[in-house]
Amino acid sequence: MRKAFGVLKAVDGIDFELKQGEFLTVFGPNGAGKTTLIKILSGLTQPTSGAAKVAGFDVTEGNPEMRKEIGVISHSTALYADLTPLENLMFFARMHGLSQPEDHALKVIDEVGLSQRRNDRVRTFSRGMLQRLSIARAILHDPKILFLDEPFTGLDLHASNVLKEYLKRLHDRQRTIVMTTHDISCGLEMCNKVALQVRGKFAFLENIEDVDRDQFESLYFDAVRDNQFVMGIGAN
Amino acid sequence: MNLYLNQIAAIVWKDFVTELKTRELLSAMFIFALLVILIFIFSINLSIVKASEVGPGILWVAFLFAGTIGLNRSFMLEKENGCLMGLMLVPADRTAIYFGKLISNLIFLSIMELFILPLFMIFFNIDLLEHLGSLLVVVFLGTLGFCALGTLLSSLSSNLKTREIMLPILLYPLLIPIVIGVVRMTGQLLEGVPLLNMMKWIGLTASFDIIYIGVSIMTIDHILEE
C-alpha cells in the first residue's frame, strides 16, 4: 500500500495482516506516516496505489458498511464543543442508525466515567476528559476494529492509566486494535504485535513475544535521531 | 431510506441545538443584513429614486452578503475539533451530510430573511403584504439556489486558509443567473406583475437550483475526502 502527497511518500509499500482480536502498536518518529496509515485504513483518505481490506471491506470502495465496523480516535476529538456529551453522542448514535440513541449514549458515557458531566458543554472539558469522550464516540456503535492515533498525547498520568485500562478491557473483548504512539512502555505493554514505521515503511514488524525490549528501544531511538537529522533538527 | 432521512434530520437537529446555545449565526446574519439596508437607505434619496426600482437589488444584496457569513460559519463548525472527520467516519452517504447542511443553511437564512423583510418594508415604505405569497416563493427559490451552491463551495473552501475570501470569490460569479432572476422577479412583483406572468424567470431560477443541487450531489464525495 502506498500514499504519496506529491513527491512526499507518506506510506511507501506497507504490507501487513492483522487477525481479529490482535493489537498492533505502530511506533515511529514524527513524519513517519503513521497518521496517514490510520487515515487510509479508516477510509478517510485513499491510497495512491495498493489495496487494503478492513473487516473484509476494500477501503478504496468507500462502502458505508465498513464504517459500522470501525471506530477511530485521532488527534482531534471530533466532538462539537458547544454540545454536551449526551448531545454529541446522541447525534453520532443517530448517524450510526442506532435505535434508542439516548440509551446507547448514556451507556458509553457511563463506561468512560463521565456520567456526572454528561450535561456540561464539551468546551469546558480537560484534555483527559475529552479523550475519554472521544473513546466513547469511537465505541458507541460497538465496532470490531479500533484505530487509535497517538491516544496518549497530552494526557496526564492518571488519564493515561485510565485509558490503558480501558484499552485492555476492549482487547479482552476481542476487539482488533491498531494504535500509533510514541509512548514505548504503554505501547509495548498492551500489544500482540509491534511495528516501527520509518519514512513510510515498516522497518520492523514482529510479534511481541519475539521482541527484545532493549533492542527495540535502541532501534526506535536510532530511527528518531536519524529522522531529526534528515529534518535538520539539531544538525550542526 | 429511513436511515438516510434520519441522518439528514440528525445533522439539522445538531446545527439547531448548537445555534440555540451559541446564537452566533442568526444574530450575525441579521445584524449584517440590517446594516446593509441602513447604509443604502441613508445613501439614497427616495424622493428622487423610486423605492420599488432600487429596493429589490438592495434587498438581495443584504440577503446574499449576510448569507455568506452564515455559509462560512456552516462548515467552520464542522472543521472545529475535527468534527468533519467524525461525520466522515459514520456510515452515512456523503450526500446525507450535504443535504443536512443544505437544509440547516436554508432554514437559518430563511429565518433571517423573515426578520429582514418587515424592516425592509418599513425603511423603504414598500407594501410587501400585497404580494407576500408570491414574494415568499421568489425568496425561497433564490435562497435555495444560494444555499445549494453555497453549501458545496463552503465545504470546498473550508479546507483553505483564505476561506473567508475564497467563498465569495467562488460563489458570487456562479450565482449571477439566480441573482438576475430573483432581482427581476422581486422588482416586477413590487410593480404589481403577477407571478404567473414570470414563468420564464421562475424557470430560469428553478433550473439553476436543480443544476446546483445536481452538481453538488455528484461532487460532494470528492470534496469531502481528505
pLDDT tens for A105-131 read: 999 999 888 999 999 999 999 988 898
* Chain B residues closer than 8 Å to A121 by CB: 21
CA-based nearest residue to A110, from A151, A82, A139: A139
Whether B12 has its CB under 8 Å from any CB of chain A: the answer is: no
List helix spans (H) across A18-84.
34-41, 64-67
Angle at B210 between CA B206 and CA B213, to 5 degrees: 135
Contact indicator for A193, A24 with CB cutoff of 8 Å: yes
Out of B9, B18, B90, name the one closest to residue A92 (CB).
B90
CA-based nearest residue to A45, from B102, B84, B154: B84
DSSP β-bridge partners for residue A119: none
Q: Which residue from A minimizes the CA distance to B2?
A: A97
Q: How many domains does chain B have?
A: 1
Across chain B, mean pLDDT equals: 91
Contact indicator for A21, A174 with CB cutoff of 8 Å: yes
Shortest Cα distance, chain A CAs vs residue B83, angstroms: 4
* Residue in the block written with cell 438576475: B180
Q: How far apart are CA A202 and CA A220, in angstroms?
A: 12
- The DSSP call for residue A122 is G
Shortest Cα distance, chain B CAs vs residue A208, angstroms: 30
- pTM for the structure as a whole: 0.89
ipTM of this predicted complex?
Answer: 0.90
Q: Which residues of chain B have pLDDT under 70?
A: 226
* Chain A residues closer than 8 Å to B76 by CB: none
* Chain A residues closer than 8 Å to B87 by CB: 95
More confident residue, A6 or A101: A101
Out of B11, B81, B221, name the one closest to residue A77 (CB).
B81
Q: How far apart are CA A137 and CA B83, in angstroms?
A: 11
Domain boundaries, chain A: 1-52+62-69+144-231, 79-143
CB within 8 Å: A91 and B10: yes
**Residue B133 CB-density burial (10 A; 0-12 exposed, 13-18 middle, 19+ buried):** exposed
Over the stretch A31-85, which tens digit does the pLDDT of each residue have? 888 999 999 999 888 888 888 899 999 988 888 899 999 999 988 899 999 999 9
Q: How far apart are CA A93 and CA A61, in angstroms?
A: 24
Contact indicator for A55, A65 with CB cutoff of 8 Å: no
> Which pLDDT score is estimated for A10?
81
* Chain A residues closer than 8 Å to B77 by CB: 80
One-letter identity of residue A215: Q
Over the stretch A132-189, which tens digit does the pLDDT of each residue have? 899 999 999 999 999 999 988 878 887 788 888 888 888 999 999 999 988 888 888 8
Q: How far apart are CA B158 and CA B226, in angstroms?
A: 12
Q: Does pLDDT of A20 surpass 60?
A: yes
Contact indicator for A9, A200 with CB cutoff of 8 Å: yes
Shortest Cα distance, chain A CAs vs residue B88, angstroms: 7
Q: Where are the beta strands (DSSP E) in A89-187?
A: 145-149, 176-180
> What fold characterizes domain A1-52+62-69+144-231?
Rossmann fold (3.40.50)
Containing structural domain, residue B181: 2-224
